[in-house]
Structure 1
């Protein structure tokens, strides 16, 4: 039987600023990547988002970003491996405490934005973060967003890692993602087809028509797009039709 996780980036509101569709999306996912206050989120948003996850039986993980709220963590920063390590540990600790307050399983780490790009481009930065995760809790799962990072995770026998795929974004032939400046509505049928292809075959069609390998055990859906609930309902129907089970990362890794 095929089992796959469905994750979503959440808790990215801040103060009076609302981002995403967390309440509408949460019932359809199995893992929530929650911002830790550096690129988005704040203590109140973190608490509200974890409480929402508890209500729907969703496991949580930290979605750590660089300290750049104005740039939403997407701007490049000159940070050493040790500094990035500390950013991750700080945010991990904060969200883990909130999860304990709500008796929610804290299970994973998935870096955000420019931090993810930094780890993808620099094995030294990636190793610093991974080693810190092992020091904090070697049961935590590292959710690897691309093959460069996933290859580094394989250096560590004790690190639980899962490769992540995307169905609401296009891939280039080299497996890099095509990131749009503005999010448009996605075709639910196409997204559901990609979900089934990745879950059952570990492959998906790239933008140029080439079939590429995406051996993912977790699928990310962006909750801040125009129609995430419609996409998730289509995915749920496709999973039922093809006998695909969904489960949180902690049950897969």
Structure 2
């Protein structure tokens, strides 16, 4: 594998441009069979967001849940995205699996195709793809896999947005290959000084006001405080809060209220990142 370290882009000034419009996304449908995750608040969360990343069966989700999530998204006018992960139900897709780029790509296409058919069945379109957990982090540093993924998306459906961090190889490859890309800010995750999130398998209870203030500060000042205790510049098009974070609905509501109260509109992805 061709892996490289990525350093965030430098800016002469932090917070030069205040965000006026923002996508708000969450990972949805991450239960399995009779087991639910996210405190059973899927529909309530769906009513608050503008884009949904729907689990596609490998790390979580199943056909019945996928169908239900697509139905909720259609009901609330939410953009539908495939959320493929490693074949790892036990580890919730947060354990790295040693596999070739071609194997991983086949798994992603398989999962994306499944959700696209559920969307087609209900008369709606797939809007985007967002890798899950450890697979997302693998792509962030693996140029070979990122190139293969984006090349495949361009051949299958070139209009599909791809979500990633700005501080990632995936973002650089997407820009170089001219593929529509969405940069994320993680409201419920910590950052390190490289501009990458601090990957964790479990997240504790977070304070809604703190999470909301952090997201608002990123939107208005273009900075985030790292675990090393310093501010770094960050740019993004979408804010993610995971539905499996304890108290996710309260976090999402508080964040949305903080943004809209300060003149930042939550909008469809096509309005935030025009193709």
- TM beyond 0.5: yes
TM-score by length of 1: 0.93
Q: Classify the secondary structure of the residue corresponding to 1:147.
A: coil
Deviation at 1:100, TM superposition (A): 1.5
Q: Deviations over 1:195-219 (max 9, x none)?
A: 1122233221223331112201101
Task: Give the equivalent residue in structure 2 for 1:223.
Answer: 243
Q: Deviations over 1:221-241 (max 9, x none)?
A: 011122122222222221222
Task: Give the equivalent residue in structure 2 for 1:173.
Answer: 193
- C-alpha distance in 2, partners of 1:191/1:89? 34
Unaligned runs of at least 5 residues, structure 1 = none
Task: Give the equivalent residue in structure 2 for 1:120.
Answer: 140
Aligned equivalent of 2:79, options 56, 59, 64: 59
Deviation at 1:182, TM superposition (A): 3.6
Higher deviation after alignment, 17-26 or 28-37: 17-26
Task: Give the equivalent residue in structure 1 for 2:102.
Answer: 82
C-alpha change, 1:233 and 1:117, in structure 2 (3 Å) is closer
Aligned equivalent of 1:96, options 116, 132, 155: 116
- Check conservation: 1:39, 1:72, Cα contact below 8 A: yes
1:151 partnered with 2:169: no
1:70 partnered with 2:90: yes
- Check conservation: 1:108, 1:249, Cα contact below 8 A: no
Query: Could you list the runs of 4 or more consecutive aligned residues of structure 1 that deviate by over 3 angstroms after TM superposition?
Result: 179-182
Aligned equivalent of 2:31, options 2, 9, 13: 13
- Check conservation: 2:256, 2:266, Cα contact below 8 A: no
- C-alpha distance in 2, partners of 1:250/1:86? 28
Q: Deviations over 1:158-207 (max 9, x none)?
A: x0001101111221222232344542222222211121122233221223
Aligned equivalent of 2:125, options 105, 108, 118: 105
Q: Classify the secondary structure of the residue corresponding to 1:103.
A: coil
- Check conservation: 1:120, 1:146, Cα contact below 8 A: no
Q: Deviations over 1:13-60 (max 9, x none)?
A: 111111223122111100000111111111111001111111211111
Unaligned runs of at least 5 residues, structure 2 = 1-18
TM-score by length of 2: 0.86
Task: Give the equivalent residue in structure 1 for 2:255.
Answer: 235
Aligned equivalent of 1:207, options 227, 234, 239: 227
- Number of residue equivalences: 252
